[in-house]
Amino acid sequence: MASTAKDVVIRQALLEDFEAVLSIGEMYGGRDYLKTLYLPLLENKDTYAVVATIQDVVVGFSMTTTFDGGLTVMRRASRVHEKFRGLGIFHMMKEELEKYTREFRPQVKYETLANTNKVDHLADRFLQSGFQSIYRRGIMPVMVRPPYPLCSTESSATEPAQVVDVKQLTHQDLSLLFQSEERSPRVFPRRRLFNFFLGYRLMDANIQNILCDGGGGFYSLRRRSDISTEHSQVNGAAQTHNNSEKSSNQFSTHSPIQQDINKGLDPESVNHVAMVTFFFCYRTLTGIVCYVDVYSEPHVSSDHLREHLRHNLLNLQRLFPGQDGRLTLAFDLHISKDLIITSLDGFGVRDVLLGQEQFQVLYERIRES
């Protein structure tokens, strides 16, 4: 006899449900992270997860995580077994999660959800239910197959001091960067991160989710040669003079940027961060997946992008030596996709996956109290 909504029981997901939840099937086009993250997420106090069962067999899973120090909630990783779709199981799980948030997370003020252009047809529905589209970024999935030619550092720089120096972000670096960007955003134009389909306010409470097992970040500082006339002209002729005057002061011998970078960021050098990339890598049922989220101030030289990509590919090689994988790059729309393709091509990464998503969109709504 066919199952109906009446047969469905929703209950809190347990660690022991791991195998049963995975057996619902591989989701999200080969990027499903539950195999790696199920246990840590369920043990995380900011996560609440439910399963849907029919006659004690797990047929659905969904969860919420709170971010931003408890201000924001997001539903993630939802899935219903193919055979049981269309019965309203997703809605039943959503209701249970909502009930939990109302009861046990009364401080939550915002609700976010992330989607790609593949489900653009649902956008009107999200907007009608009070969500606003607050951040849209380009995405590009590529296949990576080591070995890559990563050793040579080509640069248009004429002096060694002008080579782009890419450093790993520490907790303290990111905290300083958040403070600086919150005051005057340059690298994070929306005063947000939208990494790995998760939206974060620039708050210290989120750093543990970003610099974590499998995840981290890199930054590079503006060089003297990055202060180009091209940059100044964008702000109009009147500012050209001011900017170049300011620039020559900032980058005079009194401000040795390379020296600063060796110490990590400080309240002065943080204002010269030109590019930041975040990575998050994990194993799925079918292979290695890595997300690299790129942020930069406008008009930064392509040297930065190339060096950041090189560091991220090296990192991928270090984490999963010799293994093929799927890399998804996400970037603000002022960063040229062609430039990303050309830069990757220099490392032998040419296999852009066609017919995949091109944009990711972060939606947010204020919750009714």
Ligand X SMILES: CC(C)(COP(=O)(O)OP(=O)(O)OC[C@H]1O[C@@H](n2cnc3c(N)ncnc32)[C@H](O)[C@@H]1OP(=O)(O)O)[C@@H](O)C(=O)NCCC(=O)NCCS
Closer of 27 and 353 to ligand X (Cβ): 27
- The nearest distance, CB 38 to ligand X, in angstroms, is 15
Question: CA–CA distance from 302 to each of 144, 261, 296, 336, 338 (Å)?
Answer: 21, 19, 11, 10, 11
* Least CB distance to ligand X at residue 113 (A): 7
In the bound state with ligand X, the residue whose beta carbon lies nearer, of 64 and 232, is 64
Q: CB of 81: closest distance to ligand X in angstroms?
A: 8
The answer to whether 226 and 257 are in contact (CB under 8 A) is no
Smallest gap from residue 124 Cβ to ligand X (A): 11
Token readout for 315 is 């990192």
- Closest contact distance (angstroms) between CB of 325 and ligand X is 22
Contacts of 170 (CB under 8 A, 6+ apart): 211, 264
Residues forming the site for ligand X (CB under 6 A):
27, 78-80, 85-91, 119, 122
Give 79 or 223: the residue with its C-beta nearer to ligand X: 79
- As measured in angstroms, the least distance from the Cβ of 89 to ligand X is 4
> Residue 73: beta bridge partners?
66, 111
With CA atoms as reference, report the closest residue to 137 among 335, 280, 365. 335
Measured distance CA(148)–CA(255) in Å, rounded:
36
Nearer of residues 88 and 215 to ligand X, judged by Cβ: 88
Cβ-proximal residues to 95 (8 Å cutoff; 6+ apart), any chain: none
> What's the rounded Cα separation, in Å, for the pair 113 and 361?
8
Nearer to ligand X, 80 or 108 (CB): 80
Give, for 115, the enclosing helix (H) or strand (E): strand 110-116
**What is the DSSP secondary structure assignment for residue 222, as one 8-state letter?**
P
Smallest gap, in angstroms, from Cβ of residue 84 to ligand X? 7
> Residue 50 forms beta bridges with which residues?
12, 62
Instruction: Give the residue with the Cβ less far from ligand X, 39 or 119.
Output: 119
Q: How far is CA 288 from CA 319, 321, 329, in A?
A: 10, 11, 14
Question: Measured from the CB atom, is 20 or 205 closer to ligand X?
Answer: 20
